[in-house]
A and B are shown apart, each in its own frame.
Chain A
Amino acid sequence: MATVGERVSGLDSLRGTTPAKPHDARAIAALAANPGCARRALMDGAGVDKDAAARHLGFPAPFGQSPFAITRGNAFEALVKADGCAELLRLLRDVLRLPIDEVAYQDVQNVGAHLRHAHTRTLFDRAARGEQGTLYDHPLLSLKIAGHTAFLEPDVVAFQHGGRFHIVEIKSFAVIDGQADPASVSAAARQAAVYVLALRTLLEELGHDPLLVAHDVVLVCPENFANRPMATLVDVRRQLAVLKRQLARMTSIDRLLAELPEGVSFDLLPGEDGAPTRSAEALAEAIQQVSARYAPDCLSTCDLCFFCRDEARRDGASDQLGRQVRDELGGVATVEEALALADGLREPAPGQEEIARLLRDAERLRRECLA
């Protein structure tokens, strides 16, 4: 087993001269969305700027937040936090049964950026020791990702009288008639799980019980078509488990590193103006040395999605049909192979008999229906 130092240097050489891209909560949460992807695990572990790489390869990512969405999100957050978090206090008194006298508010942003993490530690240490404190606005937490420290900034952390910390996540997607867009909610839950984990780590470092941080996070969203906020408790235990597993995998990234051929690097070789000088073909070749696990869901979470989709399409891989189809077609890698098995043009390899029989039956049914 490689030591941490060896691993970090291995990852650094993978990234090369390109500066490391710090992880944010969104990126860490996206990790948990596709735990099986070695390409993503390695590139994230090495802190490669996937967005820049994708752009250089000619497959720029389709997302990135629109400036309108960011403005809307900030305006809604300001509304919830206006007047000493007046709206938020009403919601928390409702959802967490926060007692009336729990109103102390600390704006951690009042402190300069370089001191904010230290200040956050002091404040949470005091809170865990039982000193007064209820709402912490924009504390700065940290999480170690494969040897690199990522700094995270949850919207608000609420501390309840019962002695539990709750992460509050303010999102500007609407909850209409008690229903919100499931994809947005699960993305928010994944992101909140990152904060829960970071805060638990912080408390553990300070010598407190990490379970003081509740696994229920408070999700604040606009209600119906007005801008009036509402709050719901979301259980993030599942997301937390996935995230922990993924992070543990990242720390066991040595295996992935060891499997890499010598001399592979994702370096963009940025020139003096920061523009990449490495040829796109060479970079693509290097990236293809690491297997990806493309799924259509990647389109909303990963910067490299178009590159991987193109690769999956070229190979005719069954991955592009979605996770469910891929799992059912276990052992059959390409669409062509599946069709050949169904037509009986191809003899099933050992271990493929079961899926071949199913495919043939399906083909027979289809023919009967169409006849």
Chain B
Amino acid sequence: MSDDLDALERRIDLLRAQVRTAARAREAALARELRGQLRKAERAWDTLVSAPPQVAARPGEQEGRVAVPVRERVHRALTLLGVPAAGRLVVSVHDAFFAEPLRSSQLTTLRRDEERTFRRSPYARPHYVCAALTDRLTPARGLLAVSTWPQERRVVGPLSPRVDFLVATVQVAACAGRLDDPSPAARRLLARMARNVPDAGSGFGEPDPERVAVAARAELAVHLEADTRQRAELAQRAAAQLDEVACLFGAATLSDVARKGACA
């Protein structure tokens, strides 16, 4: 921007000198035209100086439309999945089914920012992107969850990573099945997930969403009962031992759990 201003100032100086020469030579017509050009240049200079610094248009921001904040985008992807998910999966799901792009670098500080917002004014927002809790009630590494989910869904036992993957596969297959023409990203995502579910496809060509969902449900049936039991126990423990911030974002250390447990 300063380059434009410099160029304009040089032009204004030049025009002034030319106006003076024309006036001295009594060439009225030329002087009038040069004055007009000078005004124009000065006006351009004025607007450039008083304009606020230009912001590069954000990706995904289109004219007349406000971009959806990152937390809302993550919330949308998580709601579609219905289970705690790692940032990488959240990004792939968002790419597959929503229009605006989401970059994994945008997720790095999200959980911490949400925790800070929540601590400042609890429950001011309808929902927060929060952490999933481990069996030690600490935040699980890299997993994102939604605060409005029941506590059972926001804890992870030993079987939960697999169960959550299978549930996510069912959800993605259902979404892809509903679309007439799923995006290439959606097809890729479904193919990648189907590869890791037994009997979900022949390995050649595109997987059939319905078959993928059936296969994922079949494996899910093996683990679900034990997982539900473990998660219920964990959720009870979390409710008994943690305060409301820690319930959402996890206890920082084991001593936090112990201290609260001792008080309770």
Contacts and interface: CB of A to CB of B under 8 A. Distances in A.
A100 B88 CA distance: 25
Interface stretch (A4-12, A32-40, A76-84): A76-84
Contact of B141 (A82, A104, A110): A110
B140 A110 contact: yes
Contacts of B219: 100
Contact of A132 (B138, B158, B160, B168): B158
B252 to A, nearest CB: 10
Contacts, number: 62
Contact of A84 (B136, B141, B165, B222): B165
Contacts of B158: 104-106, 132-133
Contact of B88 (A82, A103, A105, A107): A82
Interface residues of A, number: 24
A86 interface: yes
A107 B158 CA distance: 9
A104 B136 contact: no
B181 to A, nearest CB: 26
Interface in A90-134: 90, 93, 100-101, 103-107, 109-112, 115, 132-133
A78 B196 contact: no
A147 B141 CA distance: 34
Nearest to A138: B141
A93 B140 contact: no
A89 B162 contact: yes
B159 A104 contact: yes
Nearest to B168: A83
Contacts of A103: 159, 161-162, 223
B198 interface: yes
Interface string B160-173: 11101100100000
B195 A84 contact: no
Given A105-B161, A106-B158, A112 B253 contact: yes
B89 interface: yes
Given A83-B165, A103-B223, A133-B158, 9 more contacts: A82-B86, A83-B168, A84-B165, A100-B222, A104-B162, A107-B141, A110-B136, A111-B138, A112-B253
Interface of A: 78, 82-87, 89-90, 93, 100-101, 103-107, 109-112, 115, 132-133
28 contacts: A82-B86, A83-B86, A83-B161, A83-B168, A83-B193, A83-B196, A84-B161, A84-B162, A84-B164, A84-B165, A85-B161, A86-B162, A87-B195, A90-B196, A90-B198, A101-B222, A101-B223, A103-B159, A103-B161, A103-B223, A104-B158, A105-B158, A105-B161, A107-B140, A110-B136, A111-B138, A132-B158, A133-B158
Interface of B: 86, 88-89, 134, 136, 138, 140-141, 158-162, 164-165, 168, 193, 195-196, 198, 219, 222-223, 253-254
Counting from the closest, the 6 A-B pairs by CB-CB distance are: A84-B161, A104-B158, A103-B162, A86-B196, A83-B165, A105-B161
